[in-house]
Structure 1
């Protein structure tokens, strides 16, 4: 590789993108250190990359499943062999603590092996016919070129969860990672895929922000867009793709409910809440964002969660052991502080945290929260746990559903059967009983409802349908004579 990540004193950036667009900086969130800059792709340059992928895709689709599987297995091994490099970049570029980066990498390795096995999955079905002698086949065919636009918070995982199945199904891929995670979510993937033997042109990498991203969405050669990011951008992508009936897989924002009933185990619930609210500084679409707690146990729950929050340390994940790293940029840190301050001005009370030091935000617990407050209404994307209380289960469900978003939710109760029943009443694509909201198992379909996405699913067997088109082929042994 033409860059290295070894130690704090021996960390350099020697990378040339080969594009001529406006330069963007590679910044360490914890310190503000600028490692270097990378030129973005212009719209015309992005178009050239997409056309190159389009040209390479037919031969890749015609390769045997064994050839595709071998390359993916080599890539999985390359991920494992380069673990320290990946962890360094994930810490320095994205503010990830080591355990988060280790989980993310292992999930990617497992998903790679799953994608390799899916390359040999049955690619269709045979249906009966009302016509004697006709064989009806439904076959899956590659979409062609899949555009993957990935975010910065879990950059390796959220790039690869689309890149891997798309490649396994015979598609070419154009990957446009977020500029704030360009190396972790882009360069490392491209270079390790090249090292694994992926044919030239099958995976294109585009640096930059809106301009190359828009080119990927609008180019007629991209047959599908897999996007993870904000609801506002996802809605814009959906509108454009609808005009040309381009396939989409949109995983968007979340403002997830964490319901605690009066019969819940408070120790377990507060542990799950701390993990769901504060993991990766709360910068997760599945974050436990709205803590909806029965009024009879709210005091005990708030005290238990505040104690856990006060025991967490925020720091630089590359130079010290810490539970939380920095937020990705100062704008996001300022936004989180504003949400806290505005809600406090409306009557919320800080029980723990509430302070911001640069990009480090202390894990925060708020009580006396009402549904009108910004911390309840908006996706926070920071380490904040606002607690609102309820009296009846019907009120809890109404509070949980009082949002346009519907990604994830959880319910804590001593009666798991009741929890399962209530889970069916929550308007979310994923609901977990006696667990937290930040759950992701690579073999299980993942996705949200309402403004959290287009109800597409990624993960496990649904990948076979998500990254292909269906075609009906019928065959007669000899021609038919019709009445005309």
Structure 2
């Protein structure tokens, strides 16, 4: 067993020890039933200070290890995700409300993130630079030091491990602050995986907490890099605070991604993609397809078929059987989703399917005739809602797609892929998928958005990870000291 409750119940992880959090405990609530699954420790700013001191000490020894030893820890961690996949998936289903397919996908991505990270310690980490002086001149990448990772509730495994694994592999220590609503899946699981993989004590520490813990992480002088995933509003505050303290903040924020369906698209194929893009994981993904822009010629057919698809999707407790949609994370999120749906209808949108809920189970919803200034068009919904808007030509599609402040992911559906790529060139976005919906993720691919979606590709792929979690240092070496004129 990976998650022996006698180890982590009521505790945080500081300097290799599972100890009580200074602020008490959080209950672990199952959104599908309201049942209490357990308790995790609740950290405060004093715990951040303790953890940061331990991290500084542990990081020096960790970075000094041979690269093969750091790579070995990463490989063993990857193996452990597979070994304990059933146990981890069970927690993902119960704590997060993920359907079985989503839970399994998260474990698979975590495994691959660790294997990708295992390649980082052994890669070349610098370059020789010509010098006009009689010396050897070089630039090298060195660990940033201590990295603070702040991860959200929605996909806690993936959105934690994609920063934790490469940061560790590159010789840093990490302090992880998971969202308290999913602190087992997003915090305890990662901590236990790396404990079992042989990571030295203090190199990874885990502090569930509220905004005060995140603020303390950003402010602590020992924490040199912040990797934050969450809402745009919270990301702005993190970025502002990090700037005040002169430290880097990598921000992966909200999205309102468009899927553009051109007039030559296969409607059935487009509807299948649309349903997955908007309804997978109850729409609680930053890359969720938030706007469906459909050509006039096939618009009515698309809305009719997508509405029928939405009405056919089963909603229920993912721990109790095969369902397409599980619960939203909590009542606050449900109420926000429903308010956006109702306010959009009040501005003229048509409710073509769904728009109903029972407890935290929100039915797959289709809104048609959504105006470009309706709340469901302009705001990130973060629920299982597919707003559909028509366009007349490519210029109109570009106008609608670029009217959003977000720029995370873009899907374009067409029988002519080069035409789709030419259209994508006109729309600022961090990710483009031709003939696919907007929700995709692979450990070896760069990930990030532009505009209000964040500060660009700071996750995934070796180049992005090295840039994110190391510093560039200039080094020169001489055989004999020079003689200066004074």
Partner of 2:140: 139
Is contact 1:3-1:15 (8 Å) kept?
Answer: no
The answer to whether structure 1 residue 400 and structure 2 residue 393 are counterparts is no
Shift, 1:371, TM fit: 1.0
Instruction: Report the Cα distance in structure 2 between the residues aligned to 1:16 and 1:110, rounded to whole angstroms.
Output: 28
Alignment of 1:57-206 (within 5 A): 57-131=59-133, 133-206=134-207
Alignment of 1:10-89 (within 5 A): 14-17=9-12, 18-89=20-91
- SS state at 1:237 partner: helix
- SS state at 1:25 partner: strand
Shift, 1:246, TM fit: 0.6
Shift, 1:475, TM fit: 1.7
Partner of 2:254: 253
Partner of 1:370: 371
Partner of 1:332: 333
Partner of 1:8: none
Is contact 2:31-2:327 (8 Å) kept?
Answer: yes
Instruction: Report the Cα distance in structure 2 between the residues aligned to 1:159 and 1:58, rounded to whole angstroms.
Output: 23
Partner of 2:451: 450
Is contact 2:151-2:177 (8 Å) kept?
Answer: yes
Shift, 1:16, TM fit: 3.4
Is contact 1:13-1:36 (8 Å) kept?
Answer: no
- SS state at 1:296 partner: helix
Shift, 1:416, TM fit: 1.1
Shift, 1:347, TM fit: 1.5
Is contact 2:148-2:217 (8 Å) kept?
Answer: yes
CA deviations on 1:122-163 (whole Å, 9 max, x unpaired) are: 1111121233x3221110000000000011111111100000
Shift, 1:20, TM fit: 2.4
- SS state at 1:431 partner: strand
Alignment of 1:238-387 (within 5 A): 238-387=239-388
Instruction: Report the Cα distance in structure 1 between the residues aligned to 2:221 and 2:250, rounded to whole angstroms.
Output: 17
Instruction: Report the Cα distance in structure 2 between the residues aligned to 1:400 and 1:22, rounded to whole angstroms.
Output: 46
Normalising by the residue count of structure 1, what TM-score does the alignment of the two structures yield?
A: 0.96
Is contact 1:161-1:459 (8 Å) kept?
Answer: yes
Shift, 1:217, TM fit: 1.0
Instruction: Report the Cα distance in structure 1 between the residues aligned to 2:110 and 2:171, rounded to whole angstroms.
Output: 19
Q: Cα gap change, 1:12/1:163 in structure 2, threshold over 3 Å: closer, same or farther?
A: closer
- SS state at 1:297 partner: helix
Q: Cα gap change, 1:192/1:2 in structure 2, threshold over 3 Å: closer, same or farther?
A: closer
Of 20-29 and 424-433, more deviation after overlay is shown by 20-29
Shift, 1:3, TM fit: 4.7
Instruction: Report the Cα distance in structure 1 between the residues aligned to 2:2 and 2:43, rounded to whole angstroms.
Output: 19
Partner of 1:467: 469
Is contact 1:295-1:389 (8 Å) kept?
Answer: yes
Instruction: Report the Cα distance in structure 1 between the residues aligned to 2:457 and 2:238, rounded to whole angstroms.
Output: 14
Is contact 2:378-2:404 (8 Å) kept?
Answer: yes
Q: Stretches of 4+ moved more than 6 A in 1?
A: none
Instruction: Report the Cα distance in structure 2 between the residues aligned to 1:243 and 1:56, rounded to whole angstroms.
Output: 27
Is contact 1:340-1:375 (8 Å) kept?
Answer: yes
CA deviations on 1:422-478 (whole Å, 9 max, x unpaired) are: 111111111111111001121111100011111242111121221100001112222
CA deviations on 1:373-403 (whole Å, 9 max, x unpaired) are: 1100110000000111111211111111111
Instruction: Report the Cα distance in structure 2 between the residues aligned to 1:141 and 1:470, rounded to whole angstroms.
Output: 6
Is contact 2:92-2:98 (8 Å) kept?
Answer: yes
CA deviations on 1:274-319 (whole Å, 9 max, x unpaired) are: 1110000000000000111111110011112112212211110111
Shift, 1:2, TM fit: 8.2
Q: Mind listing any 5+ residue stretches in structure 2 that lack a counterpart? A: 13-19
Instruction: Report the Cα distance in structure 2 between the residues aligned to 1:72 and 1:3, rounded to whole angstroms.
Output: 19
Partner of 1:221: 222
Is contact 1:250-1:456 (8 Å) kept?
Answer: no
Is contact 2:3-2:192 (8 Å) kept?
Answer: no
Shift, 1:479, TM fit: 2.5
Instruction: Report the Cα distance in structure 2 between the residues aligned to 1:15 and 1:41, rounded to whole angstroms.
Output: 10
Of 17-26 and 299-308, more deviation after overlay is shown by 17-26
